[in-house]
Amino acid sequence: MTYEELGLCDHGNAVQLIVDKITFLNGSKPVNTSGGLEAKVILLEQLVLVKFVS
């Protein structure tokens, strides 16, 4: 997803969010780009499945 799709800015203004550091950790609209807990839980489920099948 892009910043525009998330509704953080109008179409074509995503670069300005980054330049102005608005989406940085201490910015006015911080964004977690790591995928958050959901991404980590899915990876853990895959590892458990691989161990179970092996």
Model pLDDT for residues 36-48, shown as the tens digit of each residue: 666 666 666 666 6
Candidates 38, 37, 20; CA nearest to 29 is 20
Q: Look at the pTM and tell me if it is higher than 0.75.
A: no
Whether the Cβ atoms of residue 51 and residue 45 lie closer than 8 Å to each other: no
Q: Is residue 3 part of a domain?
A: no
Model pLDDT for residues 5-35, shown as the tens digit of each residue: 989 899 999 999 999 999 998 999 888 777 6
What sign does the dihedral 41-42-48-51 (CA atoms) show?
Answer: negative
Number of domains in the chain: 1
Residue span of the structural domain in which 20 resides:
14-53
Whether the Cβ atoms of residue 3 and residue 14 lie closer than 8 Å to each other: yes
Angle, CA of 20, 21 and 25, to the nearest 5°: 160
Q: Is residue 6 part of a domain?
A: no
CA distance 25 to 29: 8
Q: Is residue 39 part of a domain?
A: yes
- What is the pLDDT, as a whole number, of residue 6? 86
